[in-house]
Amino acid sequence: NEKTFIMVKPDGVQRNLIGEIVTRFEKKGFQLVGAKLMSVSKELAEEHYGEHKERPFFGELVDFITSSPVFAMVWEGPGVIATARQMMGTTNPSEAAPGTIRGDYGISVGMNIIHGSDSAESAEREMGLWFTDQDLTSYDKTLSKWI
């Protein structure tokens, strides 16, 4: 069962977009298996974005992610990793297609509302970083045979 890590970033939480984002993934047919609203430590932010450590914007990125709470989630479903990335839109919201989350709600690359794992390896790593096994549920929905 494919799973991915999705996070509403501080700008998305501040702008009351949690419900909208959860709704989009629910309506698509994916299943929520874990979620929490949380403040992010500097250590966790640096670990999560470790691949960007050498980039000039790394400090800014860590400051932003730790500036206000995020809403961390795990979503499950066939092809959820790639499809979630499509639903998010490209990294820079100015260029993201209308109809995507970033395309509909964002303007600046620094505040692009949402994070989603970019590969199966990233999804495993990030789920392990943000959630314990006990945080995640697995359950059958009778609806799943219709999706």
Active site residues: 115
Stretch that binds ligand GTP, among 16-24, 31-39, 67-75, 109-117 (CB under 6 A): 109-117
DSSP string computed for 41-80: -HHHHHHHTGGGTTSTTHHHHHHHHTSS-EEEEEEESTTH
- 36, 72 in Cβ contact below 8 A? yes
Q: What is the CA radius of gyration of the chain?
A: 15
Of residues 2, 20, 118, 135, which one binds ligand GTP by CB under 6 A?
A: 118
CB of 103 to Mg ion, least distance (A): 17
- The span of 29-37, 107-115, 126-134, 138-146 binding ligand GTP (CB under 6 A) equals 107-115
List 18, 61, 82, 136, residue binding ligand GTP (CB under 6 A): 61
Nearer to Mg ion, 29 or 111 (CB): 111
* Residues placed in the known binding site for ATP: 9, 57, 85, 91, 102, 112
Written as one letter, the residue type at 65 is I
The most distant pair of C-alpha atoms in the chain lies apart, rounded to whole Å, by: 48
Residue 82 engages ligand GTP in binding (rule: CB under 6 A): no
Least Å distance between CB 51 and ligand GTP?
7
* Whole-number Å distance between alpha carbons of 137 and 11: 27
> How many angstroms separate the CA atoms of 64 and 73, rounded?
19
Pick 24 or 115: Cβ nearer ligand GTP = 115
Check if the beta carbon of residue 130 is closer than 8 Å to that of residue 72: yes
Residues that bind ligand GTP (CB under 6 A): 52, 57, 60-61, 91, 109-110, 112, 115-116, 118
